[in-house]
Amino acid sequence: MMSDLPFTFELDAPGFRPSHYDNHIRRTLSAMRGQYLDQAAYEALLAEGDAPLYEVYELNRPHVAGELLHGISIVHPGKVGEEYYMTKGHFHTVLETAEIYYCLHGQGAMVMETPEGEWAVETLVPGRVLYVPPRWAHRSVNTGDEDLITFFAYPGHAGHDYGTIEQQGFRKLLVERAGSPAIIDNPRWAR
Ligand code: PAN
Ligand code: ZN
């Protein structure tokens, strides 16, 4: 088998867009129907326009064990009601696969949980590395007023299971209370 050549790319401040990438994915408000706690605030915001919530720059690698899928995730600042802009979040289809995140810019948090009902919220600040162990679903949340930018890498065969989270969301939500992020129970969550 012919081997690939090593490659490099740059992540320059302030935008941290990779100098080389293969896919650019943009998620807007309409992709998040049913995911925000305050449905009325969601509908009101959507009526004003389908706002961009987050973007992902991916580098193409084969989706097989041994490879590392990697790229840049950018969650824009904003709120739906009192709930911060966030990614859809997912389990990996192959549950026993981990992921590593490195925060480059902004202020935020990763909301995580296991199928067994454990949960965790870790703050993301520039320079901080977050290790998401196997089995932990993960969602990035922007709690600041600038883009939250992270570099991520995960195993090529991991796959994405969005359906489980779409059904009732994460166990915990991140909302703004008195100007600061607060972790609250998700009333829709009932596993
Ligand atoms: C990341 C995420 C990215 C977007 O690459 O896919 O931050 O979030 P959603 O996939 O939940 O929309 C990752 O965790 N990959 O496995
Ligand atoms: Zn992931």
Give 56-108 pLDDT, tens digit per residue.
999 999 999 999 999 999 999 999 999 999 999 999 999 999 999 999 999 99
Cα 89 to averaged position of ligand 1 atoms, centre (Å):
6
What is the DSSP code (8-state) at residue 77?
P
Residue 39 predicted with pLDDT over 70: yes
137 C-beta neighbours (distance < 10 Å), count: 22
Helix, strand or coil for residue 66?
coil
Which pLDDT belongs to residue 1?
60
Which residue ranges make up each domain of the chain?
Answer: 23-185
Phi, psi of 85 (to 5 degrees): -55, 140
Maximum CA pair distance of the chain?
59
Minimum-distance ligand to the CA of 149? 1
Q: Which helix (H) or strand (E) holds 52?
A: strand 52-59
**Strand pairing of 180-185 and 172-177?**
antiparallel
Does any ligand 1 atom lie closer than 6 A to the CB of residue 150?
no
**How do residues 107-160 score in pLDDT, each as one tens digit?**
999 999 999 999 999 999 999 999 999 999 999 999 999 999 999 999 999 999
Minimum-distance ligand to the CA of 59? 1
Which pLDDT belongs to residue 52?
97
Nearest to 89 by CA among 16, 129, 35: 35
Residue indicated by tokens 């009732």? 168
Residue of 87, 124, 161 to test ligand 1 pocket, by largest number of atoms within 8 Å of CB: 87
Residue 3 predicted with pLDDT over 90: no
Does any ligand 1 atom lie closer than 6 A to the CB of residue 113?
no
Class of domain 23-185: mainly beta
Which pLDDT belongs to residue 121?
98
Atom 16 of ligand 1, nearest CA residue: 154
Which pLDDT belongs to residue 139?
98
Ligand 1 nearest atom to the CA of residue 154, by list position: 16
